[in-house]
């Protein structure tokens, strides 16, 4: 059972029977559905039910000749509100569930992004999904969190601005290094060496959160789970219309990349404010706009 149903207001789900009741509601009382033909001529279908502004549950499966819909996998989601990256994306299918995942490179993160692919059955995306790749896709990233806290910003604003400039320069060097520039590669190595030395000196007398202003790191054994620290640029509270649980939706800037993050108020430690930072574990999802 997916642990991240809490993030859209279903912390009361304790067993499979309770989850099935929610999924039956999505299957029988859906708000939106997407259809597309599969290779065996059955109709692939994704049924979506919203339980609040931009939060809900998706059930993906097939419709057979007799009209019966059979779900294959389901997951909670948050609809992204900010453009995160504009990059090529590859699509792969998980063998155990049939769920689609997106894979993109981003120089700001310095690593490969792997995310749950939303709206996988949208017929308008069929041509490119069948080719398993997107070119120059506009990707809206969202993070569902089941554990997070609000931390204060770094006090030294000058240091933050200097870090932003250095990160921008590092991104440019990464782009040049990817294109084969050996001088850029050497400069990156020297910059990383200087960073390691700086952290090694300061960590003796300072907390790590006063040194690292933002981060985006893979977490655990799941490829689409990340630990993030990012600055809160906007936030709002919405209620799940069924459970009345309160969800905090934040626009967070992380390593120069914007994304939407949602977390159940009961799973969030501290009070969100613009300028403060969010630190937490997220399940990364992405929607692609062609």
3-state SS of 49-101 is EECCCCEEEEEEEEECCCCCEEEEEEEEEECCCCCCEEEEEEEEECCCCCCEE
Spatial distance between the Cα atoms of 5 and 2, rounded to a whole number of angstroms: 6
Indicate if the pLDDT at residue 264 is higher than 80: yes
Lowest mean pLDDT across 14-18, 54-58, 173-177, 275-279: 173-177
**Average confidence (pLDDT) over 201-213:** 66
Compute the distance between CA of residue 282 and CA of residue 233 in angstroms, rounded to an integer: 18
What local confidence, expressed as pLDDT, does residue 195 receive? Answer: 64
| Strands 111-117 and 277-289, sheet pairing | parallel
- Give the residue-averaged pLDDT of 251-261: 92
In the structure, what pLDDT confidence band is assigned to residue 265 with cuts at 50, 70 and 90? very high
pLDDT score for 39: 63
Mean pLDDT to the nearest integer, 136-152: 91
Residue 65, CA distances (Å) to 24, 39, 41, 44, 247 in order: 21, 14, 9, 12, 40
Q: Pick the most confident of 23-32, 34-43, 89-98, 120-129.
A: 23-32
pLDDT at res. 231: 93
3-state class of 190 per DSSP? helix
CB atoms within 10 A of CB 269: 11
Q: Is the pLDDT of residue 158 over 80?
A: no
Number of other CB atoms surrounding residue 266 within 10 Å: 11
The rounded distance, in Å, linking the Cα atoms of 133 and 88 is 7
The SS3 of residue 149 is strand
Within 13 Å and on the Cβ side, how many CA atoms surround 55? 33
Q: How does the average pLDDT of the chain come out, rounded?
A: 82
123 pLDDT higher than 80: no
- What's phi and psi for 171, nearest 5 deg? -60, -45
Task: Identify the residue with better confidence: 229 or 98.
Answer: 229
Q: Which residue has the higher pLDDT, 193 or 201?
A: 201
């Amino acid at each position: 059972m997916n642990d991240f149903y809490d993030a859209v207001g279903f912390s009361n789900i304790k067993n499979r029977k309770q989850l099935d009741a929610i999924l039956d509601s999505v299957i029988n009382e859906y708000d939106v559905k997407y259809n597309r033909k599969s290779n065996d001529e059955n109709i692939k279908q994704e049924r979506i039910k919203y339980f609040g502004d931009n939060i809900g549950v998706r059930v993906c499966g097939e419709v057979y000749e007799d009209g019966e819909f059979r779900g294959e996998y389901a997951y909670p989601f948050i609809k992204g509100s900010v453009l995160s990256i504009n990059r090529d994306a590859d699509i792969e299918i998980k063998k155990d569930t049939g769920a689609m995942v997106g894979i993109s490179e981003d120089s700001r993160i310095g690593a490969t992004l792997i995310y749950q692919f939303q709206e996988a059955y949208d017929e308008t995306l069929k041509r490119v999904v069948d080719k398993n790749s997107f070119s120059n896709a506009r990707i809206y990233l969202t993070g569902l969190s089941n554990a997070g806290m609000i931390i204060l910003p770094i006090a030294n604003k000058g240091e933050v601005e200097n870090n932003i400039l250095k990160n921008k320069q590092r991104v440019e060097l990464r782009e040049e290094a990817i294109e084969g520039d050996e001088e850029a590669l050497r400069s990156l190595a020297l910059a990383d060496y200087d960073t390691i030395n700086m952290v090694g000196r300061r960590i003796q007398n300072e907390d790590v959160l006063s040194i690292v202003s933002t981060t985006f790191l893979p977490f655990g054994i799941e490829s689409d789970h990340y630990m993030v620290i990012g600055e809160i640029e906007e936030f709002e509270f919405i209620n799940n219309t069924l459970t009345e649980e309160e969800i905090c939706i934040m626009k967070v800037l992380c390593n120069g990349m914007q994304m939407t993050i949602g977390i159940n108020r009961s799973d969030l430690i501290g009070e969100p404010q613009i300028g403060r930072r969010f630190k937490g574990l997220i399940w990364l999802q992405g929607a692609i706009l062609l």
